[in-house]
Amino acid sequence: MTQPAEHPETGRMEHRLTQVGAALDAFLHREADDPLPRRGVWGPALGGALPPSGLGPDEVMRLLTDLVVPNGGRYCDPGFWGWITVGPTTMPVAAMAAGMVAAPQRYSLTAFNALEETALRWLADLCGLGTRMGGVLCSGGSTANLIALGAARQWALEAVGEDPSRDGLSGRPVAVYASQDVHHTVHRALGVLGLGRRSVVAIPTDGAGRMRSDLLEDALDQGRRTGVLPLAVVACAGSTDTGAVDPLRAVGSLARQAGAWFHVDGAYGLPGILDPRVAPLYDGLDLADSAIVDPHKWLGAPVGIAAAFVRDRDLLARAFMQEPADYLDLGDHDGPVQCSLDTIGVNYADWGVELSAPSRGVAVWALLSEIGREGMRRRIVADNDRARRVADAARRHPRLELMMEPTLSVVCFRYRSGRDPDGVNREIVRRLLRTTPWVASSTVIGGAFVIRPCFVNARTRDEHVDAFMEAVVEIGDVVEAEQA
């Protein structure tokens, strides 16, 4: 067979990926830099009209490497500790790029389809879920919570003779019990599932940010008296505000007693179980009916990768099936499989809300293959250490105040202000973003505005953390003096 002449649109990858790789390396090694001051350049240059005829590959590459990449976000910077998000490490990026070409869909009997399953098994193992749970990879914690709570809805309503995914809801009142600090994607998932954001019963937390199981018990009693169906109890394994791990054994046991599904949202914090100092906090994880984890948070996978686990994937199929379609022969044919396309492979399409979906397992497999359980454990421990480093510095410094002992790698502290603590700390966070390489977000604890870095960034070193703490005090002193 003679090779056809290469059309530019299908040209060789190596040259182009090398160009992008070089631009990305330059981007990653630049000095701390924000794209906003140059918006007058890239905004108009990139905001034009659809070109009537093509610019050609060289010009597209030039724009991509000279104008787009250098004006990307600060997520990969070593001083980025905002919210719970971060830039990926290199191996999963390379793996993801490979999958985009070699297996753009996760289906059919390919190495990539197999790696979806390997990745799920390895994640379950890494995060202490053992071998009893099956799952599906999906786009993020939002989707993973939706999938897990969709399973909960199916399970709880099947038990009273209903099939909500097939027939819709009967209007039966239901309640979902969760910590007051539960992530709001849980509320949204319940909205999408037709159960309503208001079905969440918020359980207060204790001084360490953990759900109070005594108050959960009261709330479940109250619900029983009013005849509401206890659909699920949601526990945080690493809350977004404070990193708190709810008392899983107590909460899970109460869920069991009430006949409710027990869901553990570990989008951020489930890998925390690798740190032996905090591993005992995860006791009770074995009670979970479902659990989620976001490899795109603490594990450094590219954004767009989460995992939802349940005890029984058949339940997911009942909750999320599309019903058979003529356009999709899922390979339920007779006879042996003779080529990769004879079957869809492991059929993730019926276990969540996505049909077309990229091969994500390859990225998880790559990042875990690269450093193994031990390498990941070291990263998790180093990140937890950094939160304790901030806590120690805040405790020691006369003008700083630790607002809660860190559980995992989130730490909440603030500058002591005699006048307007909330206003001063809000201004500190803003100026950190604008004038330093350090990105720390904020939250509110017991009504107090606090500075809240979350360490999940593999590019961070301890000296960055020390410089950040100095910057907080320096800026705090200036802001406080301005207010006087």
Ligand X SMILES: *Cc1c(COP(=O)(O)O)cnc(C)c1O
Chain residue whose CB lies nearest ligand X: 141
d(CA 55, CA 51): 8
Question: Smallest distance from the beta carbon of 465 to ligand X, in angstroms?
Answer: 21
Contact between 457 and ligand X by CB under 6 A: the answer reads: no
Nearest residue (CB) to ligand X, 145 versus 409: 145
Give the number of residues written for the chain: 484
- Burial grade of 418 (CB within 10 A; 0-12, 13-18, 19 or more): exposed
Interacting residues of 263 by C-beta distance below 8 A, sequence separation 6+: 145, 148, 149, 152, 232, 233, 234, 235, 288, 289, 290, 291
Question: Smallest distance from the beta carbon of 140 to ligand X, in angstroms?
Answer: 3
Structure tokens given for 363? 């990225």
* C-beta separation of 311 from 133 below 8 A: yes
Contact between 386 and ligand X by CB under 6 A: the answer reads: no
* C-beta separation of 306 from 280 below 8 A: no
Residues 300 to 329 in contact with ligand X, rule: CB under 6 A: 306
Question: Smallest distance from the beta carbon of 179 to ligand X, in angstroms?
Answer: 10
Looking at residue 408, its amino acid is L
Nearest residue (CB) to ligand X, 240 versus 457: 240
Nearest residue (CB) to ligand X, 110 versus 179: 179
For 190-246, give the DSSP string.
HHHTTS-GGGEEEEPB-TTS-B-HHHHHHHHHHHHHHT-EEEEEEEEBS-TTT--B-
Residues 111 to 150 in contact with ligand X, rule: CB under 6 A: 140-142, 145
Question: Smallest distance from the beta carbon of 266 to ligand X, in angstroms?
Answer: 7
Rounded (5°) CA angle 275-466-270? 25
Question: Smallest distance from the beta carbon of 203 to ligand X, in angstroms?
Answer: 15
Which of 119, 126, 211, 267 touches ligand X by CB under 6 A? 267
CA 211 to chain centre: 21
Bridge partners, residue 401, by sequence: 414
Contact between 183 and ligand X by CB under 6 A: the answer reads: yes
Please tell me whether residue 55 adopts helix, strand or coil conformation.
coil
DSSP secondary structure letter of residue 182: -
Question: Smallest distance from the beta carbon of 183 to ligand X, in angstroms?
Answer: 3
Helix or strand holding residue 295 (H, E): none
Question: Smallest distance from the beta carbon of 130 to ligand X, in angstroms?
Answer: 21
Which of 116, 289, 294, 427 touches ligand X by CB under 6 A? 294
Nearest residue (CB) to ligand X, 190 versus 479: 190
Nearest residue (CB) to ligand X, 456 versus 469: 456
Binding mask 72-91 for ligand X (x = CB under 6 A): ------------x-------
Site of interaction with ligand X (CB under 6 A): 84, 140-142, 145, 183, 185, 236, 240, 265, 267-268, 294, 306
